[in-house]
Amino acid sequence: MTPESDFSDAEIEAGRRLFAGEWGFLSAASSVASLPPGQGLEVAFAGRSNVGKSSLINALTGRRSLARTSNTPGRTQELIFFRGAGPLVLVDLPGYGYAAAAKSKVSAWTRLIHDYLQGRAVLGRVYVLIDARHGFKSADDTILDTLGKVAVSHQIVLTKCDQVSAADLSACVDATKAALKKRPAAFPETITTSSHTGAGIPELRAAIARLLSERTRPVNMHRSG
Ligand code: GTP
Ligand code: MG
């Protein structure tokens, strides 16, 4: 199987095209009851508060402020759904772990995130974002435990790679790979990104385009007679 970090020129181009069109707000949900009806294929972005989830959605879609970002952790407070022209829906999740919000709020978001991840039939992949400056934290283990139990493919994306030296980035990639050895449900490769410089964004688009083509490929019918 081709690793989920290795893409042909044709796949990079397919990724570019997938995200080149218009993107807009679809809906927001603060409870499981208010989730929009599942349609198309959802790709969700999870991670600790301030790791850069909303910024990554903006970088992927080439929009400066499609998703709201902030210097203060705890900006995204609901599940926010964005749609493009095709079947793909991007889901910006509230951060878990530390946030500049009341503890009760953060624990309610965390519960909502876990309920969403466990019960969403149209959820095709979850990208778990890790800040390359900080690496894995215990809150990341909790989300990876949940994802390991449900049959949703998931992969680690390192963010803010512009903020670390090449040597530190490579150490972070190695440490992440080592941690993933204990987690066979996750892709063993990571994608390293920077929403500020655009590094890794074409590859992440290509990964999502590959997922979409795998999930929407017509079933081969063999008919006799
Ligand atoms: P919550 O919604 O609060 O959970 O945060 P989030 O994970 O959505 O993070 P957000 O995208 O709001 O970004 C948080 C801060 O990190 C902002 O100040 C961003 O400008 C900054 N940031 C995001 N991505 C990058 C990056 O690739 N490089 C650098 N240097 N800063 C980044
Ligand atoms: Mg956010």
- Asked whether the predicted pLDDT for residue 7 surpasses 60, the reply is yes
Q: Is the CB of 160 under 6 A from ligand 1?
A: yes
What residue type is 54 in one-letter code? Answer: S
Does the pLDDT at position 1 exceed 60?
A: no
Instruction: Grade residue 171 by pLDDT with cuts at 50, 70 and 90.
Output: very high
Q: Percent of the chain, pLDDT > 70?
A: 95
45 CA to middle of ligand 1, Å?
12
Q: How confident is the model at residue 151 (pLDDT cuts 50, 70, 90)?
A: confident
48 CA → ligand 2 middle, Å: 9
With the most atoms of ligand 1 within 8 angstroms of its CB, the residue from 50, 65, 163, 196 to mutate is 50
The answer to whether the Cα torsion of 139, 185, 13, 191 is positive or negative is: positive
The rounded Å distance from CA 5 to ligand 2 centre is 24
CB neighbour burial string for 104-141, b if at least 16 within 10 angstroms, e if fewer: eebebbbebbbebbeebeebbbbbbbbbbeeebbebbe
Contact 144, 129 (CB under 8 A): no
Q: Is the CB of 47 under 6 A from ligand 1?
A: yes
What is the predicted pLDDT for the residue at 164? 98
pLDDT score recorded for residue 2: 64
Residue 99 has pLDDT above 50, yes or no: yes
Mean pLDDT of the chain: 92
Q: According to the 3-state scheme, what is the secondary structure of 120-176?
A: CCCEEEEEEEEECCCCCCHHHHHHHHHHHHCCCEEEEEEECHHHCCHHHHHHHHHHH
pLDDT for the residue 101: 73
Atom of ligand 1 nearest to the CA of 74: 3
Rounded mean pLDDT, 158-162: 98
Q: Is the pLDDT of residue 225 over 50?
A: no
How far apart, in whole angstroms, are the C-alpha atoms of residue 155 and residue 163? 21
Q: How far is the CA of 3 from the centre of ligand 1 (A)?
A: 27
Tell me the pLDDT tens digit for each residue of 16-42. 999 999 999 999 999 999 999 999 999
Residue 224: pLDDT band with limits 50, 70, 90:
very low
Which ligand is located closest to the Cα atom of residue 95? 1
Q: What is the pLDDT of residues 181-219, one digit of tens each?
A: 999 999 999 999 999 999 999 999 999 999 999 998 766
All domains of the chain in start order, with CATH: 4-213 (3.40.50.300)
